[in-house]
């Protein structure tokens, strides 16, 4: 049986560099610790894996380790797993928060985000969210981190460093590829309809300084089919109730809303224009905005247009707009696109930039934030124009793009015709100028081609 040691143990053979001291007990399982893993262990220390519980460092197949081997009771072990693939090594009930650290991936080789088309590394070390100093590290929680925007945000937060980052997922298990690529992340299963799982976040991660709520039923047709589920998920009452339970104003809530709060009967909506959603998705988002404004001391509500960009580390199931257009157009068959529905699509890294900018400002000075912002790209485009841009970038003929009216198709849900947005407030307040749709399409397709 192996016992927890106060300091990291090393193998007797062959001589190795010492492990970096950490302030929590570590169990090293020598026979399964691969060669050259010391740096990775050090990096585990960096990500604050411990929280006072024993940590197991090792790798191996099922059956190699068990509770009896570790002399640990259920819930006592924090697992730091070094593995190429993340097999489950220990009985589930023993684990508190498995962390997966890929083999042979020391700190200097950690993935960095692709450069933003502006040439700036979004969330990179040079734009770290906080100045490193004395005192407790700041905590950022991404609710719905397993989704499309959530994963892009987590990549940027992890690359930026300087803060402890956790995320929530709703599916049974967190996306393994994400944990594998970003080993410092903490994952929690949370259901926003009931609030189940939030208590574990406060117990283990603590009160976040910033919560970014990306969780939603984000497909309008699904909201139309099940309005009760749409309201229960999209209006974050359990999340806000949990936030209020801390009894202070120390957390900023950044909440993702949508352009579909607008009716869609004019162009370039401003934030102060009336909200009059035409579908259940928009209604649930308006209800969420009202709830947050009434309940929260510090919030930023982001009314987002269509978010487009490269695929996520752990691919999302839903089809992504640019990739879908590219795929159907590449087949050379004629495809129909609506000529009378207008949006201001926003490149995902611009949206990430907006969230990071708000986060950084809150962490720097803690000045009260109560803001509602339209977040879109600079171009008002129809689906037809979007497809034409993809065709231009790819060199496809426009002859296969057929222009049709949205009224020619029944999609089972009402869709607002023109919800293009004025983003003057965004650019003035945060100094962020989202890139053009054409540049975003180029960047998206270039990044897809390189992976
Ligand atoms: N993508 C866009 O084009 C777009 C446009 C405008 C606004 N928005 C808004 O931006 C936000 C992020 O969008 P997205 O595209 O990243 O969404 P997404 O890919 O659909 O991700 C949704 C997230 O919500 C989680 N979730 C679903 N039901 C939940 C529940 N009952 N409890 C807790 N979590 C739950 C999902 O978890 P699992 O995946 O683990 O199930 C996932 O992490 C959403 O609020 C969306 O409405 C998106």
Decide: 112 and 88 in contact? Cβ < 8 Å. Answer: no
Residue 423's φ and ψ, nearest 5 degrees, are -110, 25
Residue-wise pLDDT for 237-246, tens only, equals 999 999 999 9
Ligand 1: does its nearest atom lie under 6 Å from the Cβ of 312?
no
Closest CA to 55 of 34, 29, 31: 29
State mean pLDDT over 257-274. Answer: 98
pLDDT of residue 129: 74
What is d(CA 394, CA 396) in angstroms, rounded to the nearest whole number? 6
CA–CA gap between residue 151 and residue 143 (Å, rounded): 10
Which pLDDT band holds residue 317 (cuts at 50, 70, 90)? very high
Q: Which residues, 6+ apart, have CB-to-CB distance to 144 below 8 Å?
A: 150, 167, 168, 169, 170, 213, 214, 215, 216
Average pLDDT, the chain: 79
Does any ligand 1 atom lie closer than 6 A to the CB of residue 191? yes
Query: Which uninterrupted H or E stretch holds 41?
Result: helix 38-46
Neighbouring C-beta atoms of residue 203, cutoff 10 Å = 11
Residue-level pLDDT at 18: 31
Please check the confidence at residue 279 and state whether its pLDDT lies above 60.
yes
Considering only CA atoms, which residue is closest to atom 37 of ligand 1? 170
* % of the chain residues with pLDDT over 90: 68
375 lines ligand 1 (CB under 6 A): no
Tracing tokens 């407790």 back to the chain, one arrives at 136
Gyration radius of the chain's alpha carbons = 23
Measured from the CB, is residue 307 less than 6 Å from ligand 1?
Answer: yes
Tokens of 217: 């039923």
Q: Would the pLDDT of 43 be above 60?
A: no
Give the residue carrying structure tokens 């992340």: 185
**For the chain, what is the largest distance between any 2 Cα atoms, rounded to a whole number of angstroms?**
74
- What's the pLDDT at 375? 98
Question: Pick from 77, 411, 416: which is nearest to 261 by CA?
Answer: 416
What distance in angstroms lies between residue 169's CA and the mean position of ligand 1's atoms? Answer: 10
User: For residue 451, what pLDDT is reported?
Assistant: 79
Rounded distance from Cα 217 to ligand 1 centre (Å): 6
Looking up tokens 């339209």, which residue turns up?
A: 374
Tell me the pLDDT tens digit for each residue of 354-389: 999 999 999 999 899 999 999 999 999 999 999 999
Decide: 215 in ligand 1 pocket, CB within 6 A. Answer: yes
Calpha distance 378→359 (Å, rounded): 23
Which pairing describes strands 99-101 and 138-143: parallel, antiparallel, or unpaired? unpaired
Structural domains of the chain sorted by starting position, each given as residue range(s) with its CATH number in brackets: 26-108 (no CATH), 135-382+389-396+405-450 (3.40.50.720)
Q: Is the CB of 231 under 6 A from ligand 1?
A: no
Which stretches of 135-273 are assigned E, i.e. beta strand? Answer: 138-143, 163-169, 186-189, 210-213, 252-258
How close are the terminal C-alpha atoms of the chain, in Å? 44
The CA distance from 308 to 447, in Å, is: 12
Q: Point out the least confidently predicted range of 100-109, 172-181, 201-210.
A: 100-109
Is the distance from the beta carbon of residue 213 to the nearest atom of ligand 1 less than 6 Å? no
What pairs with residue 141 in β-bridges?
166, 211
* CA dihedral sign, ordered 125, 130, 135, 139: negative
- Taking the centre of ligand 1 as the mean of its atom positions, its distance from the CA of residue 90, in whole angstroms, is 31
Question: How many Å lie between the centroid of ligand 1 and the Cα of residue 325?
Answer: 21
pLDDT at 68: 35
What digits encode the pLDDT tens for the residues 105-154? Answer: 332 232 333 333 332 222 333 346 776 455 679 999 999 999 999 999 99
Confidence (pLDDT) at 246? 97
Nearest to 379 by CA among 424, 322, 432, 420: 420
């Amino acid at each position: 049986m192996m016992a927890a040691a106060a300091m990291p143990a090393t193998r007797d053979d062959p001589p190795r560099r010492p492990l970096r001291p950490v302030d929590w007990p570590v169990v090293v399982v020598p026979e399964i610790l691969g060669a050259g893993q010391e740096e990775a262990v050090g990096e585990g220390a960096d990500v604050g894996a411990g929280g006072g519980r024993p940590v197991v460092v090792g790798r191996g197949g099922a059956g190699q380790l068990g509770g009896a081997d570790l002399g640990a009771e259920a819930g006592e072990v924090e697992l730091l797993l070094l593995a190429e693939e993340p097999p489950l090594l220990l009985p589930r009930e023993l684990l508190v928060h498995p962390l997966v650290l890929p083999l042979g991936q020391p700190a200097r080789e950690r993935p960095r985000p692709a450069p933003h088309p502006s040439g700036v590394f979004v969330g990179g070390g040079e734009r770290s969210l906080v100045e490193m100093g004395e005192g407790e590290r700041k905590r950022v929680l991404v609710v719905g981190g397993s989704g499309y925007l959530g994963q892009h945000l987590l990549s940027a937060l992890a690359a930026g460093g300087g803060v402890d980052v956790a995320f929530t997922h709703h599916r049974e298990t967190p996306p393994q590829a994400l944990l594998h690529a970003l080993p410092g992340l903490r994952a929690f299963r949370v259901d926003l309809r009931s609030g189940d799982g939030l208590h574990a976040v406060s117990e283990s991660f603590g009160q976040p300084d910033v919560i970014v709520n990306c969780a939603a039923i984000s497909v309008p047709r699904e909201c139309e089919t099940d309005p009760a589920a749409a309201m229960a998920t999209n209006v974050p009452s359990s999340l806000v109730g949990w936030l209020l339970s801390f009894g202070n104003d120390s957390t900023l809530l950044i909440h993702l809303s949508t352009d579909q709060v607008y009716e869609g009967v004019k162009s370039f909506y401003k934030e102060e224009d009336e909200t009059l959603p035409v579908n259940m998705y928009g209604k649930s988002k308006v209800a969420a905005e009202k709830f947050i404004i009434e309940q929260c001391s510090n919030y930023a509500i982001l009314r987002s247009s269509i978010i487009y960009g490269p695929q996520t580390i752990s691919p999302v199931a839903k089809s992504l707009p640019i990739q879908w257009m590219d795929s159907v157009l590449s087949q050379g068959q004629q495809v129909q696109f609506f000529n009378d529905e207008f949006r201001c699509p926003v490149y995902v890294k611009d949206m990430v930039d907006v969230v990071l900018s708000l986060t950084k400002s809150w962490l720097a000075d803690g000045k009260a934030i109560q803001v509602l912002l339209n977040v879109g790209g600079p171009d008002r485009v129809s689906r037809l124009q979007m497809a034409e841009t993809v065709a231009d970038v790819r060199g496809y003929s426009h002859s296969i793009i057929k222009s049709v009216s949205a009224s020619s198709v029944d999609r089972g849900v009402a869709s607002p015709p023109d919800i293009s947005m004025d983003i003057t407030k965004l650019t003035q307040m945060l100094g962020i100028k989202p890139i053009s749709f054409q540049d975003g399409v180029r960047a998206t397709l270039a990044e897809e081609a390189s992976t």
